[in-house]
Amino acid sequence: MKTILDFQKKKVAQQKITMVTCYDSTFAQLVSGSNIDAILVGDSLAQVMHGHKTTLNTSTNIMALHTAAVVRGANDKFVVADMPFLATRKGLRNSMDQVEKLIKAGAHAVKIEGADGHLELIKHIVESGVPVMGHLGLTPQSIYQLGGPKIQGRTTDTADKLLKDSLAVQEAGCFSLVLECIPAVLSKKITEQLTIPTIGIGAGPDTDGQILVLQDMLGMNKGFSPKFLKKYLSGADLITEALNSYVSDVGLQKFPLKEHSYE
């Protein structure tokens, strides 16, 4: 997929959209060689790449650095970059400066968490020619306000608010919407009512597409196994095994051999 029109086409054709996060050029090359539709340079890089506990510890400059690396590795994929924590909350001029940095780094769109206080901004960004992906449900930038990484939209009131917000971000101009950690029945309802595609994570099978954090679906973090996650590789075990084989080979003088050495 190369443009936002492809997202829309897939929804209309009822073909599922597949996305993963990606933060670096090496993995971007691997994603580029796969059938994955599009990439998110997520602010989850604060946790996955930089070892922070939450997504709050990143900045637009860091996001732009990783976005540029990803685009260099996967210039055939549609790349969305996250607007990081508070990048949208310091006035229009400042927000537009952040958008500019991400787009100039090579992103094709930006993602913004939450609807409250963002509708005018989304409209302005879209009118400025930049596609915006929405993100509702569990919005990790509000982790302290939400009281932790909890499933959202479980009560009638919160489910109604999520549906209302979904329609509002669509109305503001979002070309697609991430729904994170909400009941499957609610994401189905939202997906049916929206004309833009929904991309789910922990939101059940009925969204128009799915997104997973790349390192999570590759099983790189053995301690992270939430219910919504399916691991497609035992990455951590494979890498540890490879590292230990290397240590053993060096110790036993099985590496380097003659074929690894220069005359």
Query: Which CB atom, from 68 or from 136, has the smaller least distance to ligand KIV?
Result: 136
Query: Which CB atom, from 13 or from 235, has the smaller least distance to ligand KIV?
Result: 235
- Amino acid making up residue 12: V
Residue nearest to ligand KIV (CB): 42
Task: Give CA–CA dist 174/5, Å, rounded.
Answer: 12
Query: Which CB atom, from 73 or from 134, has the smaller least distance to ligand KIV?
Result: 134
Query: Are the C-beta atoms of 177 and 139 separated by less than 8 Å?
Result: no
Which residues in this chain contact ligand KIV in the complex, by CB under 6 A?
21, 40, 42-44, 55, 82, 135, 178, 180, 201, 211, 213
Question: What is the closest distance, in whole angstroms, from the C-beta atom of residue 66 to ligand KIV in the complex?
Answer: 11
Q: Residue 117: which region, alpha, beta or left (left: phi > 0; alpha: psi -120 to 50)? A: left
Look up residue 2 and give its two tokens: 């190369």
Query: Which CB atom, from 39 or from 172, has the smaller least distance to ligand KIV?
Result: 39
Query: Are the C-beta atoms of 106 and 71 separated by less than 8 Å?
Result: yes
Kindly list the catalytic residues.
Answer: 180
Greatest extent of the chain over all pairs of C-alpha atoms, in Å:
74
Task: Give CA–CA dist 148/196, Å, rounded.
Answer: 29
- DSSP state at residue 105: T
Question: What is the closest distance, in whole angstroms, from the C-beta atom of residue 183 to ligand KIV in the complex?
Answer: 17
Question: What is the closest distance, in whole angstroms, from the C-beta atom of residue 154 to ligand KIV in the complex?
Answer: 19
> Which burial class, exposed, middle or buried, applies to 32 when counting CB atoms under 10 A from its CB (0-12, 13-18, 19+)?
middle
Question: What is the closest distance, in whole angstroms, from the C-beta atom of residue 211 to ligand KIV in the complex?
Answer: 5
Look up residue 11 and give its two tokens: 């929804």
